[in-house]
Amino acid sequence: MFEKLINNFTLLTSFLFFGNMARSRYLKGKVSRAVDYFVSGIVLGLFGLLLMQFTFSVNKLVIADFRQIAIIVSVYLGGAVSGFWTTLIIAGYRLYFLHGISSASVLAALNAVLTYVIAASLLPRKNNHLSKWAMVVGLSLVSTMAIFYVTLQENVLRIVLPYSLVFGMAGLFTYYLLRYLRRSDDLLDMMREAAHRDFLTGLYNSRAFQTFFESKVVTSRAASEVFSLLVVDIDHFKRVNDTYGHAAGDAVLQQLAHVLRDTFGPEDHIARKGGEEFVVIVDHCGRDRIKTAAERLRRNVERHVFALPGGGTLRITVSVGAAVFPDIDAHELFDKADQALYAAKESGRNRVCLISA
């Protein structure tokens, strides 16, 4: 028994670890949640079938496996939708394919459904603490004991302790493994996000913006869509640093980032290019609309009162250069927008200039 139990724990660990890696790479954030939960449910259902092939003897009367763990994990990761598909596969296989329909197969399928109902009721998508997990495992154990009682009757007391220990160990082990994997994923996501963000403003950095720009050009060409590029520069920013200090300059940059976010929509892409210069991709916006959008930004900055760290306030202005794709080819778009920005500076600052193709 001990050797088979170790094999089951090894199988459980390997599947959860490598399955989590595959899900993070190919599903998470790359497909819709519905697809993610469907695929996760199917894969965990198949994993449940695999667990059913690696049975171990609890005693002379009972041969057990960890199929219920697969159902609980599925609900934990993908909610009721994922758990439904996992349960359907496990219950259907046990009912129709393992040894055919019998009283034992019906009860085993019912046990899988009860485990699903318990998990779906008690494991919400957030705040899945150990107490909730332990309650699910405990109630699932009770349902299994009820099945044993129906099938074994007077012998059930002889298997309560060993089966409870084995199933409880498996449940606790799985919980801590899942929590470790989830925290690792969260930390990795934070590191990836931090690598793409400007440390001061929280906007995308220049490298991330370049990656997005290249992707945007490809998709826009394929779909014959239009977008505009704005290059935004703070007028006389050096005076701010020289007069009020670099802490004030940093505060101005941070607050300007807020103005940019408030001016443009979530579908637009904003980045700090460097120093006091920012770039914006305004989605689905051509020559007929981009100057209006850029003027709105210029006015919003002009009207905004910037708070200084040591007290007091400051007003600033920005100059904006604009260029439109595909009127201007992608490899020239940044240069043309920079030329438009230079023209706005030369004509007196606090202006918007849209360059012609």
> DSSP letter string over 282-308?
EET--HHHHHHHHHHHHHHHHH--EEP
* Model pLDDT for residues 3-16, shown as the tens digit of each residue: 666 777 788 888 88
Quote the pTM value: 0.62
How does pLDDT run across 167-188, given as a tens digit for each residue? 888 888 899 988 888 888 777 7
Q: Is 266 helix (H, G, I), strand (E, B) or coil?
A: coil
Segment 187-212 shows an average pLDDT of 82
Who contacts 298 (Cβ-Cβ below 8 Å, separation ≥6)?
317, 318, 320, 350, 351, 352
Phi-psi group of 307: left, alpha or beta (phi > 0 → left; psi -120 to 50 → alpha; rest → beta): beta
pLDDT, mean over the chain = 87
pLDDT for 232 beyond 60: yes
> What one-character-per-residue DSSP string does 105-164 give?
HHHHHHHHHHHHHHHHHH--SS---HHHHHHHHHHHHHHHHHHHHHHHGGGTHHHHHHHH
Mean pLDDT of 22-33: 80
Q: Which range among 50-64, 221-235, 294-308 shows the weakest confidence by mean pLDDT?
A: 50-64
Selected residue with higher pLDDT from 234 and 3: 234
Q: What is the pLDDT of residue 126?
A: 59
Q: Which two tokens stand for residue 119?
A: 């998990």
C-alpha span between 306 and 316 (Å, rounded): 8
